[in-house]
Structure 1
Amino acid sequence: MVRDFPSEIRFWIKTEGVPTEFWSTPTSQSIGDAIVETIDVDLDYGKMRVIIDGRKELCFETTVDFKGGEYYEEEEALVT
């Protein structure tokens, strides 16, 4: 895949608001891919490395649906 070099920005983002029982590579990958392209996940620090298109608007928060958490009674949480 050919990318437009000037518009491609790679950096780490840290997610906040994800209940700890849902911290996993697939969950982080899913959250990152819903917003941009995820290329790496660091569960120790709750962050992921992403590639964004600098020509598009940035998304800083979203609501994520969670199901099946042992200690989490709600089904969705605000993730920033």
Structure 2
Amino acid sequence: MARSFPPEIPFWISVVGVPTEFWSAQTFQSIGDAIGETTDVDLDHGKIRVVLDGFKELCFETTVDFRAAKFYDGEEVVVS
């Protein structure tokens, strides 16, 4: 790759698959941090702004474990 290629690329990512009772800044922050560096959370639209390393492979889904949750104790949910 050319040296002029930006190593960090900001993206707005729409999060799908998180049950609405778990929509919180902390939940979305942890999902974004698993992908890259979270810089902003938009709970109204279910989006996170993440800065990704342009030299690494993109991650399109991850598993979230709701261990401490009242209704989802020990259940894992795929988030894309």
- Please give the range of the TM-score, normalised by the shorter of the 2 chains: 0.7 to 0.9
Give the structure-1-normalised TM-score: 0.84
Matches within 5 A, 1:3-22: 6-22=6-22
Q: Provide the C-alpha distance between the structure 1 equivalents of 2:41 and 2:50, rounded to a whole number of angstroms.
A: 9
Q: Provide the C-alpha distance between the structure 2 equivalents of 1:21 and 1:67, rounded to a whole number of angstroms.
A: 14
Q: Go from structure 1 to structure 2 and tell me whether the alpha carbon gap of 1:19 and 1:41 turns closer, same or farther (over 3 Å shift).
A: same
Q: Percent identity?
A: 66
Gaps of 5+ in 1: none
Give the structure-2-normalised TM-score: 0.84
Q: Provide the C-alpha distance between the structure 1 equivalents of 2:53 and 2:16, rounded to a whole number of angstroms.
A: 22
Gaps of 5+ in 2: none
CA deviation after TM superposition for structure 1 residue 76, in Å: 0.9
The 8 Å contact of residues 36 and 50 in structure 1, kept in 2 or not, is answered as yes
Q: Provide the C-alpha distance between the structure 2 equivalents of 1:20 and 1:67, rounded to a whole number of angstroms.
A: 16
Q: Provide the C-alpha distance between the structure 2 equivalents of 1:74 and 1:18, rounded to a whole number of angstroms.
A: 15
Q: Secondary structure at the match of 1:33?
A: helix
Higher RCO (Cα < 8 Å, 6 or more apart): 1
Q: Provide the C-alpha distance between the structure 2 equivalents of 1:68 and 1:7, rounded to a whole number of angstroms.
A: 36
Provide the aligned length of Structure 1 versus Structure 2: 77
1:1-43 Cα shifts (integer Å, max 9, x gaps): xxx9711111200110001111000010011101110000000
Structure 1 runs (4+) deviating above 6 angstroms are none
RMSD: 1.8
The 8 Å contact of residues 10 and 51 in structure 1, kept in 2 or not, is answered as yes
